Structure 1
Amino acid sequence: MNFSDAKETAEVVTRSFGEEIQFFFASLGGRIPLWITAFIVAIIALIIAKISRRIIERKLAKHGIEEENNEMEIIGGRITYVVILVIGFTSALKIAGIDVTTIVAAVAVGAGFAMQDLIINFLGGVMILAGKHFTIGDYIKIEETVGKVVDIQARVTVLQALDGTKVVVPNSSLFLKQVVSFTSNPFMRIDLMVGIDNRNDLEKVIAVCNKVFTNTKGVLVEPKPAVVVAGFDRHVLNLEMRAWIESRSGWVRLKSDLAKNIKHAFDINGIKMAMPLQITVAEKELALTDEKVKTEDPMLLTAEEKPMQPTSVPKIPQALPVQAPQVQPSPINASEPAVG
């Protein structure tokens, strides 16, 4: 390739790039009005979606849906809101000249990874409302939390615990985990354990309890209350009081009232409650018992408490008697002079 060919190639590339730049700015000037129109369409769609949701919820509320059982109201308003938003935004993208197919594919891939939890929680909320396992106003228990359902949102469910605190639970947890609903059924049973002295007259105790059931406000006649003997031993007779109440009548307060009324009735009728068994051991008896145990089990004795064992002293062999040598006296001669 000579110099003239390289120069000609450079001129062609420069001319093509310049034409592309000119075309871009020329098309940009024509697209700006379309983008403005698309933005306006998106804003209008958002406003219409919000207004439509409120209208649908208001219409459903007028058709006899109770305030504490408005799951259809929430579902209807939410579906209307989402559908109008999807239609409006899709129209805005088409007006702007953007390929909707590419956008939908990109959103689907992003939702599969980045928005997985959000989608699961949203679907969990829809399934909760559609399944009607519990509704707004019910008392439920999930894991260790007990509270009243205050709101079911798109992502979370808000509970008001018994102590007044606000608990926010993801809808996916409510959908996947075990949930206990205390007020889904019209009636619920409250159980109260009572321990009495087993020397009381059992028939009298049952008669007193039945009278308490009748006089306690909120306890239903049907299903019939019952007193069940749960167990007994030498000193205690355990009774289980079973009473049925309306599930939305405040079961915590009713259980407290029932316990107070039973205690008051027992005091009036001379029914003795079970007293805790106490065993008092005197200090001296405890010391004697401890000494006896240690005597029976020598391994429990400490080094100071172990008795001294007589040590064996090795026997020393007795020495044989030593006899002194006998000296024979020499005879005295008469001829030797006597020493004076």
Structure 2
Amino acid sequence: MTPRNRVWLAPFLLLFAFFLPTPALAQDAPPPPAKTAAADQKAPAKKGEEKKPAPPAPIPEWAKPLPEWSHTPIAEGIRFVTTTGVTFAINLVAALLIFVVGRIAAGLLTRLVRRLMTKAKLEETLISFVCNLVYMLLLAFVVVASLEKLGVNTTSFAAIIAAAGLAVGFALQGSLSNFASGVMLIIFKPFKVGDVIEAGGTKGKVIEIQIFSTVMQTPDNVRIVVPNSAITGGNITNFSAMSTRRIDMSFGCAYGDDLKAVKAYLEEVLAGHEKVLADPAPAVFVSGLGDSSVDFAVRPWVNSADYWGVMAELTEAIKLGFDEKGFNFPYPTRDLNITSQVAPAAS
């Protein structure tokens, strides 16, 4: 105990000692006889007289048993405060310092990790998750160190946490699979927010990529949450990955129509549309001879953002042009030949 603590505890010790019963004073007992120099000298033993043993050495003050008043609850409390209590207080202050300093250090390290991941141009979802995970792990280490400073057995504590983590892992197998798939999606980036994709049996625009699921919006404005494991477990079709797309259209004309005139008109429609790209050049060719029509394949290139709009506009323009120029859209027809036999007249 430091001298400052002793000075602080001195008034309380005096106050408690004042109200405690006073033990028997040593001055009530008769004083021991004074020793003389002659007595200190050993007298020679007479013949036939047995030698007496020397008297025992006096007991020092520190080895004497404590008086009865020292075993009272107040005295025990004073003894606890001056010994164990001081040690516990010092350990408590040290544990608090470890926790405070460790928490500040965990925050600084988390900021450093965020800065490095931001410079690496990683997704914000992955950055937030990794930073939170790093902070929680560092904070758990700080808490364990603080408890160990207080004398808590952290070995059993760590074993309990490990067992609980194992049980939670078995219970959340599906969620962990979605989590692993989410990390893969964020790292490898097969698509990003705003892309139109088809994955997990769903086709739509990506609204948000979360660590456990991906939020998509269908063309009819339906919001769908798809588990990440369902996305990575199958094919992923990204319609927005490339800057340009090709529109595949098919039109048929009657066998009696002029094929060259039909082809020239289709090429004219494509060349006159402002959103159809000249490079790559659009293609128009006869793709097949059907049962009732000659089929033309029409394949213009457009920007990915203009895909659906251009398809609708071209379909309408070609239909109106066919009607204006007299080209026919043949319907499926089937010739039926019926042969009838006249029954012979009765004789």
TM-score (norm 2): 0.60
Equivalent residue, structure 1, for 2:199: 142
Matched, 1:273 2:329: yes
Partner of 1:176: 233
Q: What amino acid maps onto 1:251 in structure 2?
A: Y
**Aligned with 1:75 (options 126, 130, 133):** 126
Say whether 1:210 aligns with 2:261.
no
Query: Which runs of at least 4 in structure 1 moved beyond 6 Å after TM superposition?
Result: 29-57, 278-281
Give the corresponding residue for 2:249. 192
How far, CA to CA, are the matches of 1:45 and 1:189 in structure 2? 55
2:135 matched to which residue of 1? 84
Superposed, which structure 2 residues align to 1:12-31 within 5 Å?
none
Distance 1:264 1:237 in 2: 19
Task: Write the mapping of 1:201-280 to structure 2, written as runs, cut at 5 A.
Answer: 201-247=258-304, 249-277=305-333
Cα deviation, residue 134, structure 1: 1.0
| Structure 1: runs of 5 or more not aligned | 1-25, 66-70, 296-340
Does the 8 Å contact 1:220/1:243 carry over to 2? yes
Structure 1 residues 87, 103: CA separation in 2 closer, same or farther (over 3 Å shift)? farther
Superimposed CA distance per residue, residues 40-70 of structure 1 (whole angstroms, 9 cap, x where no aligned partner): 999989999999999889x66xx9x7xxxxx
Measured against aligned partners, the alpha-carbon deviations of 1:240-265 in whole angstroms (never above 9, x if no partner) come to: 22122222x14222211121122122
CA distance in 2, matches of 1:209, 1:146: 31
1:213-245 deviations in Å (ceiling 9; x for gaps): 122232211122112323213521122221222
Residue matched to 2:78: none
Q: SS at the partner of 2:300?
A: strand
Please give the root-mean-square deviation of Cα atoms over the aligned residues, in Å.
3.9
What secondary structure does 1:96 align onto? helix
Is the contact made by 1:188 and 1:244 (CA closer than 8 Å) also made in structure 2? yes
Which structure 2 segments of 5+ residues have no match?
Answer: 1-83, 149-153
Q: Aligned in 2, Cα 1:220/1:110: closer, same or farther, shift over 3 Å? A: farther
Q: Is the 8 A contact 2:110 2:134 kept in 1?
A: no
**1:175 shift after superposition:** 0.9
Helix, strand or coil for the counterpart of 2:206? Answer: strand
**Corresponding residue SS for 1:119:** helix
State how far apart, in whole Å, the 2-side matches of 1:119 and 1:45 are: 29
1:50–1:171: structure 2 CA closer, same or farther, 3 Å change rule? farther
Which of 106, 128, 146 aligns to 1:95? It is: 146
CA apart distance, 1:35: 10
Deviation at 1:109, TM superposition (A): 1.8
Q: Which moved more, 1:188-197 or 1:43-52?
A: 43-52
Amino acid at match of 2:130: I
Aligned pair partner of 2:183 in 104, 116, 126? 126
In structure 1, C-alpha distance between the alignment counterparts of 2:333 and 2:194, rounded to whole Å: 45
Q: Residue 167 of structure 1 aligns to a residue in which SS?
A: strand
Mapped to 2, the partners of 1:37 and 1:179 lie a distance apart of: 52
The TM-score with structure 1 as length reference comes to 0.61
Does the 8 A contact of 2:125 with 2:211 survive in 1?
no
2:171 to 114, 126, 129: 114
Q: Aligned residue for 2:57? A: none
Measured at CA, do residues 45 and 141 of structure 1 come closer, stay the same or move farther in structure 2, by a change above 3 Å? Answer: farther
Shift of 1:74: 2.7
Contact 2:269 2:317 in 1 (8 A): yes
Cα distance, 1:36 vs. partner?
9.3
Q: Distance in 2 between matches of 1:180 and 1:200?
A: 39
Return closer, same or farther for 1:40/1:115 CA change in 2, 3 Å cut-off.
farther
CA distance in 2, matches of 1:125, 1:80: 16
Q: Which amino acid aligns with 2:134?
A: V
The residue type equivalent to 1:84 in the other structure is Y
The superposition leaves residues 82-111 of structure 1 with CA deviations (integer Å, 9 ceiling, x where unpaired) of 211221233224423444642553255234
How many residues align? The count is 250
